[in-house]
């Protein structure tokens, strides 16, 4: 993206050209595709950063800001991050012999060091020699330079391999380096401060800076908020904020600019929540009430255990909600294994009792199938609706995308007639050819895989608004709940049913203790010998080039057939389970495992959510560092569900003091999902607060860190409430655009994931 592209200005575009979507000129300009303003080549490069519109670019704020003379903080660099740093060469020199010779240098910002390695290449000795000589000349001890590339860590030491660089003098002027890297000089030369942007190979920080400058010169944006909002929030106007973050002269300007942009993010989210709450006020639902001796009472009477206090209390709240004329909008969050399913089943039975239907949405077919089976089992004779019990029974119907045409027709008929009181499925339940007789309740299991959009789509399928119960095992800190789920009432199940077993978690460092890996497989053999079962989890299905992580197929073979000698699990009944298997096969494997006909499943994260096999007591997670904290916690939740203490072994080859290892240690230390969720959030940076999985998170929450910015979120919520008070329809053009933008982002997110 080096050559400046022809400039096409967005100004003069007719409203029709942009679909007439926006109320304000500001929103229109911000939504302009970058290609129209900076040229296709640059736009293509910026797309590698997920930047598509003018607004995306202007909101892409630098990670660090440096003065020409000031060094960048080397200790803030993360594994895998592209960055440019200004630093001095401490020592440098040649290492190794032809054909593996290289030039290494240690650079420092005074406090922290980075190891640079330049590979000379081995084919042509002369060329290699001239490269080495070039580096030697440019990067002797004492030289100062700007170095950019992808950072990695080795034994806790930051590394840059074959970085781009230029050398600079004390004034920041470029004095050496490749011509194509001259633009890096901006980093050293600017009058004010220079931002170092998150970058990719195709879109480097100095090019981003140049493009931002180009765009900033072309646009002049009126502030989208009414004056009173800006006054209450005490923030800069929008244009000043963009200038402040992209071209500051002092660091307090940066802070003021960021404050404004963060406020905007939080405020857009809160306005959207306010809008949804206001809309929900107009919705009516059919109240569903239960009798003393109805289906629910019959179910409670035959439950093999007594409900925990939490299950009972939340159950009462849910029943009270269902009896209202307003649709329930409730989020049930609860530790893995806390027994959320029973709460949902009771709600669905309450609805069935009054003749209504429920849809239970699960994130995977495996989970949907399992839910259907376990709910049917839990209901026992109460699931034989249409039979002798008549009114006192209902039917559970499973609907998945992979059913045969005949099965599907039968299921659809039962759904349409209303015979099926409980319909379980994946998002296939959302397809338009499904009509319910009287859809009264939608239960969404494991919300983190579902978006707001999906809830909306399903809701549109009912005659009246259905009640909605969303369940998640990923504990959600209060601020996140406020930001993402502001339209839901939150209930929390903190208790895990009595009689749960301990799960001990151990990190196995494969480099330091290779023998422990054999011990891990041995442990599985021992547990199976005791009648238990085991999971082995891998991060991917098949081997891939350039990635040493073991796949399901590789590990399955190594564990069973082995090479030469039989594998360590050769004597056991082992099967593979992963998303690429045909559904029937997945169901079969899961079914055999649940029935105790298999000892070990080697799987991907398809077992992550909800799989409930109480007899499983061991889980070995291969390349555990590839998983996030919440994911590991979820995975581990699959064991220790019965009477047997569990053991979870996290195999890893990462360095002992790397951030990845810290995550694993945190998981080993704590079994408290709430505590882990906070560690998880604290480790993340802006932009991936909830991962791409959360509704709207990818595109609408870039700067807000939910743990750090509690005050901004609360302030934004207060101002949003005030906005509704002043303007009940939220008809101010700026508000309308903010809500449109958030909803679009949520939709895009959703589409991307499905």
List interacting residues with ligand ADP (CB under 6 A): 305, 307-308, 311, 334, 336-342, 473, 497, 610, 612, 614, 641
The residue (of 199 and 474) whose beta carbon lies closer to Mg ion is: 474
Choose the one of ligand ADP, Mg ion, none that binds residue 517, judging by a C-beta under 5 to 8 angstroms depending on kind: none
Residue from 196, 173, 177 nearest 185 by CA: 173
CB-CB neighbours of 11 under 10 Å: 12
Query: CA dihedral defined by 657, 659, 662, 664, rounded to 10 degrees?
Result: -120
User: Least separation, in Å, of the C-beta of 315 and ligand ADP?
Assistant: 11
The residue (of 149 and 610) whose beta carbon lies closer to Mg ion is: 610
Residue from 389, 331, 52, 46 nearest 210 by CA: 46
Q: How many residues bind Mg ion (CB under 5 A)?
A: 1
Choose the one of Mg ion, ligand ADP, none that binds residue 132, judging by a C-beta under 5 to 8 angstroms depending on kind: none
The residue (of 44 and 492) whose beta carbon lies closer to ligand ADP is: 492
The residue (of 345 and 701) whose beta carbon lies closer to ligand ADP is: 345
Q: Interacting stretch for Mg ion, rule CB under 5 A, among 381-389, 456-464, 609-617, 677-685?
A: 609-617
The answer to whether the CB of 545 falls within 8 A of the CB of 692 is no
The answer to whether the CB of 223 falls within 8 A of the CB of 25 is no
Interface with Mg ion includes 610 (CB under 5 A)? yes
Q: Interacting stretch for Mg ion, rule CB under 5 A, among 216-224, 253-261, 608-616, 700-708?
A: 608-616
User: Least separation, in Å, of the C-beta of 308 and Mg ion?
Assistant: 15
User: Least separation, in Å, of the C-beta of 748 and Mg ion?
Assistant: 28
User: Least separation, in Å, of the C-beta of 466 and Mg ion?
Assistant: 20
CB-CB neighbours of 70 under 10 Å: 13
Choose the one of Mg ion, ligand ADP, none that binds residue 549, judging by a C-beta under 5 to 8 angstroms depending on kind: none
The residue (of 362 and 541) whose beta carbon lies closer to Mg ion is: 362
Return the structure tokens found at 685. Answer: 């940076």
CA distance 475 to 681: 11
Q: Is residue 106 packed enough to be buried (19+ CB in 10 Å), middle (13-18) or exposed (0-12)?
A: middle
The residue (of 219 and 336) whose beta carbon lies closer to ligand ADP is: 336
CA terminus-to-terminus distance, the chain? 32
User: Least separation, in Å, of the C-beta of 341 and Mg ion?
Assistant: 5
Choose the one of ligand ADP, Mg ion, none that binds residue 334, judging by a C-beta under 5 to 8 angstroms depending on kind: ligand ADP
Q: What is the DSSP string of 265-329?
A: HHHHHHHHHHHHHHHHHH---------TTSHHHHHHHH-SSPPPHHHHHHHHHHHHHHTSSSPPE
Choose the one of Mg ion, ligand ADP, none that binds residue 305, judging by a C-beta under 5 to 8 angstroms depending on kind: ligand ADP
Choose the one of Mg ion, ligand ADP, none that binds residue 307, judging by a C-beta under 5 to 8 angstroms depending on kind: ligand ADP
The residue (of 39 and 610) whose beta carbon lies closer to Mg ion is: 610
Handedness of CA 597, 602, 607, 613 (dihedral sign): positive
Residue from 247, 382, 358, 418 nearest 301 by CA: 382
The residue (of 470 and 720) whose beta carbon lies closer to ligand ADP is: 470
Give the residue nearest to ligand ADP (CB).
339
The residue (of 257 and 339) whose beta carbon lies closer to ligand ADP is: 339
Choose the one of ligand ADP, Mg ion, none that binds residue 35, judging by a C-beta under 5 to 8 angstroms depending on kind: none
User: Least separation, in Å, of the C-beta of 617 and Mg ion?
Assistant: 19
Q: Interacting stretch for Mg ion, rule CB under 5 A, among 72-80, 574-582, 602-610, 719-727?
A: 602-610
User: Least separation, in Å, of the C-beta of 535 and ligand ADP?
Assistant: 15
The residue (of 149 and 337) whose beta carbon lies closer to Mg ion is: 337
User: Least separation, in Å, of the C-beta of 371 and Mg ion?
Assistant: 8
Choose the one of Mg ion, ligand ADP, none that binds residue 532, judging by a C-beta under 5 to 8 angstroms depending on kind: none
User: Least separation, in Å, of the C-beta of 96 and ligand ADP?
Assistant: 54
CB-CB neighbours of 113 under 10 Å: 16
CA distance 147 to 125: 26
Query: At CB < 8 A and 24+ separation, what contacts does 685-693 make?
Result: 685/78, 687/198, 689/480, 690/448, 690/480, 690/484, 691/448, 691/628, 692/749, 692/752, 692/753, 693/448, 693/449, 693/753
User: 3-state secondary structure string, 477-534?
Assistant: CHHHHHHHCCCCEEEEECCCCCCCCCEEEEEEECCCCHHHHHHHHHHHHHHHHCCCEE
Q: What is the DSSP string of 146-158?
A: EEEEEEEEETTEE
The residue (of 71 and 474) whose beta carbon lies closer to ligand ADP is: 474
Query: CA dihedral defined by 338, 342, 348, 350, rounded to 10 degrees?
Result: -110
Query: CA dihedral defined by 659, 664, 666, 671, rounded to 10 degrees?
Result: 160
User: Least separation, in Å, of the C-beta of 704 and ligand ADP?
Assistant: 29
CA distance 195 to 209: 7
User: Least separation, in Å, of the C-beta of 300 and ligand ADP?
Assistant: 11
Choose the one of ligand ADP, Mg ion, none that binds residue 641, judging by a C-beta under 5 to 8 angstroms depending on kind: ligand ADP
Interface with Mg ion includes 425 (CB under 5 A)? no
Choose the one of Mg ion, ligand ADP, none that binds residue 342, judging by a C-beta under 5 to 8 angstroms depending on kind: ligand ADP
CA distance 365 to 415: 18
Give the residue nearest to Mg ion (CB).
610
User: Least separation, in Å, of the C-beta of 314 and ligand ADP?
Assistant: 11
The residue (of 332 and 651) whose beta carbon lies closer to Mg ion is: 332
User: Least separation, in Å, of the C-beta of 369 and ligand ADP?
Assistant: 14
In the stretch 554-593, what mask flags binding to Mg ion with x, by CB under 5 A? ----------------------------------------
The residue (of 1 and 422) whose beta carbon lies closer to Mg ion is: 422
User: Least separation, in Å, of the C-beta of 610 and Mg ion?
Assistant: 4
φ and ψ at 444, to 5 degrees?
Answer: -110, 115
- Rule CB under 5 A: which residues touch Mg ion? 610
């Amino acid at each position: 993206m080096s050559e400046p592209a022809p400039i096409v200005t967005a100004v003069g575009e007719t409203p029709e050209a942009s679909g007439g979507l926006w109320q304000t000129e500001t929103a229109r300009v911000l939504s302009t595709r970058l290609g129209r303003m900076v040229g296709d080549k640059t736009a293509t490069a910026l797309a590698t950063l997920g930047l598509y519109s003018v607004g995306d670019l202007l909101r892409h704020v630098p990670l660090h800001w440096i003065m020409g003379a000031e060094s960048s903080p080397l200790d803030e660099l993360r594994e895998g991050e592209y960055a440019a740093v200004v630093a001095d060469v401490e020592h440098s020199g040649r290492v190794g012999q032809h054909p593996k010779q290289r030039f290494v240098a240690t650079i420092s910002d005074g406090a922290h060091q980075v190891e640079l390695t330049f590979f000379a290449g081995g084919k042509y000795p002369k060329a290699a020699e001239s490269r080495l000589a070039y580096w030697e000349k440019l990067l002797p001890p004492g030289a100062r330079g700007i170095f950019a590339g992808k950072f990695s860590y080795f034994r806790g030491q930051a590394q840059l391999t074959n970085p781009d660089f230029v050398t600079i003098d004390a004034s920041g002027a470029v004095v050496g380096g490749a011509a194509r890297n001259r633009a890096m000089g901006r980093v050293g030369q600017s009058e004010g401060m220079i931002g170092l942007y998150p970058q990719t190979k195709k879109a480097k920080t100095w090019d981003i800076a140049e493009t931002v400058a180009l765009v900033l010169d072309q646009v002049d944006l009126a502030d989208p908020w009414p004056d009173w909002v800006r006054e209450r929030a005490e923030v800069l106007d929008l244009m000043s904020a963009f200038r402040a973050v992209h071209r500051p002269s002092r660091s307090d300007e940066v802070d003021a600019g960021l404050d404004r942009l963060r406020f905007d993010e939080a405020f857009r989210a809160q306005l959207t929540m306010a809008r949804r709450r206001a809309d929900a006020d107009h919705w009516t639902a059919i109240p569903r009430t239960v009798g003393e001796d109805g289906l629910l009472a019959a179910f409670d009477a035959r439950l093999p255990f007594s409900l925990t206090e939490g299950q009972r209390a939340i159950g009462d709240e849910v029943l009270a909600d269902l009896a209202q004329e307003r649709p329930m909008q409730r989020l049930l969050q609860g530790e893995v294994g806390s027994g959320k399913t029973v709460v949902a089943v009771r709600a669905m039975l309450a609805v069935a009792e009054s003749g209504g239907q429920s849809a239970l949405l699960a994130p995977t077919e495996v989970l949907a199938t399992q839910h259907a089976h376990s709910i049917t089992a839990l209901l026992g004779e109460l699931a034989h609706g249409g039979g002798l019990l008549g009114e006192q029974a209902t039917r559970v119907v499973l609907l998945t995308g992979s059913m045969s045409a005949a099965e599907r027709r039968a299921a659809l008929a039962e759904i349409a007639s209303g015979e099926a009181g409980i319909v379980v499925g994946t998002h296939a339940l959302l397809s338009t050819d499904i009509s319910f007789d009287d859809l009264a309740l939608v239960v969404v299991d494991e919300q983190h895989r579902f978006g707001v959009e999906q809830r909306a789509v399903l809701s549109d399928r009912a005659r009246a608004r259905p009640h909605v119960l969303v369940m998640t095992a990923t504990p959600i800190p209060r601020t996140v709940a406020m930001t993402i789920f502001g339209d839901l009432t939150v209930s929390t199940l903190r208790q895990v049913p009595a009689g749960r077993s301990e799960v001990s978690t151990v990190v196995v460092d494969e480099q330091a203790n290779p023998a422990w890996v054999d011990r891990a497989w041995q442990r599985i053999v021992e547990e199976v010998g005791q009648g238990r079962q085991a999971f082995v989890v891998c991060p991917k299905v098949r081997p891939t080039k350039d990635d040493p992580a073991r796949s399901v197929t590789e590990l399955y073979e190594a564990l069973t057939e082995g090479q030469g000698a039989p594998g360590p699990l050769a004597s056991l009944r082992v099967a593979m389970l992963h998303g690429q298997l045909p559904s029937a096969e997945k169901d079969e494997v899961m079914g055999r495992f649940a029935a105790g006909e298999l000892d070990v499943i080697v799987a991907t994260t398809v077992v992550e959510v909800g799989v409930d096999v109480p007899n499983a007591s061991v889980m070995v997670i291969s390349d555990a560092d590839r998983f996030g904290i919440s994911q590991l916690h979820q995975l581990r939740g699959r064991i220790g569900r019965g009477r047997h203490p569990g053991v979870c072994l996290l195999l890893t080859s990462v360095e002992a003091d790397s951030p990845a290892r810290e995550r694993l240690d945190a998981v080993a230390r704590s079994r408290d999902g709430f505590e882990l969720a906070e560690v998880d959030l604290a480790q993340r940076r802006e932009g991936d607060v909830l991962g791409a999985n959360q509704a709207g998170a990818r595109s609408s929450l870039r700067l807000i860190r939910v743990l750090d910015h509690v005050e901004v979120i609360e302030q934004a919520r207060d101002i949003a409430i005030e906005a509704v008070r002043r303007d009940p329809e939220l008809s101010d053009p700026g508000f309308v655009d903010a809500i449109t933008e958030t909803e679009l982002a949520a939709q895009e997110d959703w589409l991307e994931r499905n």
